[in-house]
Structure 1
Amino acid sequence: MRESTTGVSPRGLMYLVLILLPMLAQAADPLPAWRESPSRSAIVAFVEAVSQQGGPDYVAPAERIAVFDNDGTLWSEQPLYFEVLFAMDEVKRLAPEHPEWRTQQPFKAVLESDHQALAAQGMEGLLKIVAATHSGMSSADFIARSRSWLASARHPRTGKPYTEMVFQPMLELLAYLRDNGFKTYIVSGGEVSFMRAFAEEVYGIPPEQVIGTTFAATFQDQQGTLSIQRLPKIQHNDDGPGKPVSIDWIIGRRPILAFGNSDGDLQMLQWTMAGPGRRFAGLVHHTDAHREWAYDRTSKVGHLDKALDQARAKGWTVVDMAGEWRRVYPFEAP
């Protein structure tokens, strides 16, 4: 049998091609962590339709706005929202400066790891904890504290940094959209500066495209040292109906694609789908108790009830995490 000019026999070349073809196919696939499934097909069909110049559903690049919730949509949110875990750790770190916290709720419950007493404080108690740990400093100092915590803290179940608890399929989706002329935004109930501390490095989303809950702030000039000081008052709650308001204020364009995972994202999905032309609404449904968590209607974290019903009634895309994702996290073996 004759050898080719490369020194490889035709049979060897055939074997080489058989080995390389699957690898090349995987390299060309922009969504390798997604199984062939209804959700993947719906995403690809939508992106191809709106980016096909001259097609009936073509959307100019300037109008290709995609918005994503963060907690439970781009990274995990169990056993508690990661920002809440940050706030609780900050209470413990700052406790020596606040001896009164040892007898004051909800701080006493945090310091004693009394989860029952903490739960009894409800949303009012949580807001006190967040206000105490997210204000009274400059924006720059708060971002530095957030980054320090993210660099050292570890998830209680996996032992991984929180910034590795991101969803590999959603990282691929963000990149796929940007490769097709989309501008990707985070629109989350999380505090905006906390998310800006990691969003660009982890998601490739710059600070100006991160929208979240904001604290009131004031400009300060202390003998020539300029800063933006954070005040203990929430200026805008970017959850539920607050999300479309933020989109209107900050982006100024209605998105054509929106992804969420809970009832807190319902109004954002509704707002996106209410516009003209072809549009896409997606929900990440947490169905994987083995690799992640399984929860929806009865969960206190990431509660998904009304949005799930509306998604099924209106034909929105509901991503079955267990069935449609080959990988959940980047650290999993492909």
Structure 2
Amino acid sequence: MRLSFSLALVASLCAAPVIADPLPSWNETDAKSRIINFVDDVTDPSLDTYVRPDDRIAVFDNDGTLWSEQPVYFQLIYAIDRVARMAADNPDILTSDVLKAAAAGDMDGIMAGGEKGLLEIIDASHSGMSVDDFQADVLAWLDTARHPTTGRPYDEMLYQPMLELLRYLRDEGFSTYIVSGGGVHFMRAFAEEAYNIPPSQVIGSALNSSYQVIDGVPTVVKTPGIAFIDDKEGKPVGIDAKIGKRPIFVGGNSDGDFAMLEWATSGEGPRFGLIVHHTDAEREVAYDRDSHIGKLVRGLDEGPDRGWLIVDMANDWARVWP
């Protein structure tokens, strides 16, 4: 009788389904536990913390949160490369010192132009063509361009743990959005293939644009000037305008994401704020308070008291790249 019972128990255990780890590239630290516990709390209908699928909205910054952003934003590298290509065909476009610096790949000269100079480079490189042509050019650039230190294609500089988090949330009934200071058309060119996030769920900064009929073809054309900057206080405004609901899960990495985190986590019911802290100088780059890109000061100082999870990249991630 005991033998029969033991055999039955063994058979039962062997037949039990194996539950896959939803975040295999995350170490077994408090960060991983907190994420999984939150998801369990909002998806279990028997709990008071249950959130309907329609309200399970998760938003993430892109640069420094979903993919790398050092030594400078990848979109700026694209813009500089495009100015150089344009100048090779027509040197007359180099009408200022900052454009000449861009064509020469002179980062010191580019940075000397300040924010005004950067906008001039973006205007020159992004405007004057249709949205379709622009996005085709971005994809062609991604096929050939390589990161200056890793040698990887830029669209392979994605964070594997964050890709897993996006997939995990979607598997649990969340809708995932990108809300980033990057250009909306730039990100929409690759977001679906990179993150499985469709263009309609990408919110970003935008140049002016106009509707034109060109050679009989109805076309949306990118034109000079900034229409909307989706950064800092602009992020909650962009979410409200495009999504119409306050997210319950928010991920960022810099103080440019502070307003988005603050607004989202101040809503009623369960809320989760996450900050990717770049602490891993060996596998990526370590930076925060003094960085010229992705500066993180207020988030470090205030985030823990607000209940936000500060993800320590070096300790919480078992791997960085796909």
Shorter chain as denominator, the TM-score bin is over 0.9
Match of 1:153 in 2: 145
SS at match of 1:265: helix
**Could you tell me which of 249, 256, 261 is aligned with 1:264?**
256
Do 2:277 and 2:288's aligned partners in 1 also have CA atoms closer than 8 Å? yes
Residues of 1 paired with 2:36 and 2:230: CA distance?
29
Unmatched tracts of structure 2, length 5 or more: 1-13
Deviation of 1:284 after TM superposition, in Å, equals 0.2
Asked whether 1:118 is paired with 2:103, we answer no
Amino acid at match of 1:138: S
Deviations for 1:50-93, whole angstroms, at most 9, x for unmatched residues? 00013110000000000000000000001111001000000111
Distance 1:72 1:120 in 2: 24
Q: State the alpha-carbon separation in 2 of the partners of residues 240 and 172 from structure 1.
A: 26
Paired AA for residue 261 in structure 1: N
1:183 equivalenced with 2:175 (yes/no): yes
Choose from 232, 238, 243 the match for 2:235.
243
CA deviations 1:242-286 (Å, max 9, x no partner) are 000000000001100000000100000011111100100000000
Contact 1:187 1:238 in 2 (8 A): yes
Superposition map of 1:281-320 within 5 A: 281-320=273-312
Change (3 A) 1:228 1:252: same
For normalisation by structure 2, the TM-score amounts to: 0.93
Counterpart Cα distance in 2 of 1:294 and 1:249: 34
The aligned length equals 311
1:195-218 Cα distance to aligned partner (Å, 9 max, x none):
011100010000000000011111
1:171-210 map, 5 Å:
171-210=163-202
The SS at the match of 1:212 is strand
Q: How does 1:21-170 map to 2 (within 5 A)?
A: 28-102=20-94, 104-170=96-162
TM-score, structure 1 as length reference:
0.90
How far the C-alpha of 1:101 sits from its partner, in A, is 4.6
2:209–2:223 contact (8 Å) kept in structure 1: yes
Which range moved further: 154-163 or 104-113?
104-113
Deviations along 1:13-54, one digit per CA (max 9) or x if unpaired, are xxxx8xxx9xx96x7111000001111111001000000013
Deviation at 1:96, TM superposition (A): 3.0
Would the aligned equivalents of 1:101 and 1:108 in 2 still touch at CA under 8 Å? no
**Shift, 1:104, TM fit:** 2.0
Paired with 1:236 and 1:201, the residues of 2 have a C-alpha distance of 25
1:277 aligns with 2:240: no
Secondary structure of the residue that 1:110 maps to in structure 2?
helix
Partners of 1:67 and 1:315 in 2: CA distance: 17
Q: Which runs of 5+ in 1 are unaligned?
A: 1-16
Identity of aligned residues (%): 53
Q: Secondary structure at the match of 1:277?
A: coil
Rounded to whole Å, the distance in 1 between the matches of 2:118 and 2:225 is 13
**Structure 2 contact 84–104 (Cα < 8 Å) conserved:** no
Measure how far apart 1:314 and its partner are. 1.5
Aligned partners of 2:32, 2:290: CA distance in 1, in Å?
27
Aligned alpha-carbon RMSD (Å): 1.8
Q: What is the CA–CA distance in structure 1 between the aligned matches of 2:253 and 2:138, rounded to whole Å?
A: 24
SS of 2:68's equivalent in the other structure is coil
Distance, in Å, in 1 between the alignment partners of 2:281 and 2:287 is 8
One-letter amino acid of the structure 2 residue matched with residue 168 of structure 1: Q
Q: Tell me if structure 1 keeps the 8 A contact 2:81–2:103.
A: no
